[in-house]
Amino acid sequence: MGRCPCFGSRKKEKEKNLNGREDEEDDVNNLKSVGSASVSGRSLEPKSEATPAENIDGSNKAEIFTFRELATATKNFRDETFIGQGGFGTVYKGKLDKTNQMVAVKRLDTTGVQGEKEFLVEVLMLSLLHHPNLVSMIGYCAEGDQRLLVYEYMPLGSLESHLHDLFPDKEPLDWNTRMMIAAGAARGLNYLHHEAKPTVIYRDLKSANILLDERFNPKLSDFGLAKFGPTGDQSYVATRVMGTHGYCAPEYATTGKLTMRSDIYSFGVVLLELITGRRAYDDTRVHDKHLVEWARPLLRERSNYPKLADPHLQGHFPISGLRMAIEMACMCLREEPRHRPGAGDIVLALDYLSAKQYVPKVSGTITMGSMEIGDSPKEPTMILPILPKDALREQAVAEAKQWGETWREKRKQSYENSPEEIRT
């Protein structure tokens, strides 16, 4: 991870990327050609304000707002409506007068070329992409030199805000919620990689870009750096290195060759964040600034796995579930891209983990794998039968062995296959 020296704040990225823009210009041109049906042949200039931009499937519409409407919705962008600083812009909470709908309004910084391009890429990407685990775009404003994006409002904010620098009155995420968030984010990534047409490489997967609704359901956001996947015989997309420090796949940082497995590496970092509660990169630390570098020595021995668990969990996690989650993160973080799992395999594994609800142990309880079932009359009755303790232990061991054998078999097959077969 130390091989990502070109990464810093998004503002620094903008300054660095004013030169050598040919690949980004190609991206915008490609997006315009692919998204021509989604915007009904209309440009994103102010003259088209009277007509909404239709999505490619015609089932949703991206509304075109005037600047006055969005200024009114956000109380003229007052500090009290400020939500946070996003990529190349500031995000505000607003309420649309016409519908009383709560929204998030991102006002882009268009003083540089990159902000304008991010606006075009994000509008056209979100006109093409629709999935329960992707944030929905409601509309945009392209009036004069103003560039604003309007999204559905995610009341619980970003995953990052629930993992790091918690206020004393803020409850940390429990184990079940963390695994649910990981599984949902994986489903969103799988959609981009394998279900979207054309396929998309996210390129900026991080905890700050995973937003949470009122039930902690995760949605991927901020698609300004997204790229269409390789086509034809190509196995990668050649591009300038962009992203966020701590999440960058090493092969992408050194070569600029972007693949779907680059996103998988970033997902592994996010999963490690969920497990450990540590930042992907923390420049406030004197040592061990990079999460992956700090974790690698501990990942060599299973006996060290509990040391990786977030102290905020206070020991309330299933040992077997922790081991499985760490092993999945290890697979995603492999140095060799072709040996990393695909997004579909990650979804299967994390759906399995998130389905095994963990209940913290109380007096008079017995454990079944990653579940603990209380026999107190005050506890709600569980659907699963209460089996003898030895039988429960044997069942848990069998489940863990089956999970491990499945992944060992997948790993063996990946080594036997040729690189050409694996890289897609």
CA angle 321, 324, 328 (to 5 degrees): 140
CA angle 367, 371, 376 (to 5 degrees): 65
First-last CA distance in the chain: 24
Strand 137-141 with 148-152, pairing:
antiparallel
Q: How far apart are the C-alpha atoms of 329 and 2, rounded to whole Å?
A: 18
Is 106 marked within a binding site?
Answer: yes
Strand arrangement, sheet containing 53-54: 53-54, 61-64, 137-141, 148-152, 102-108, 89-95, 82-86
**Facing residues of 158 across strands?**
211
Q: How far apart are the C-alpha atoms of 323 and 179, rounded to whole Å?
A: 13
Q: How far apart are the C-alpha atoms of 221 and 157, rounded to whole Å?
A: 11
Residue 322 in contact with residue 305, Cβ under 8 Å? yes
List, in order, residues 6 or more apart from 299 with CB less than 8 Å away.
Answer: 308, 326, 330
Q: How far apart are the C-alpha atoms of 148 and 167, rounded to whole Å?
A: 31
DSSP 379: S
The residues assigned a catalytic role are 204
Annotated binding site for ATP: 106
Cite the annotated binding site by residue number.
106
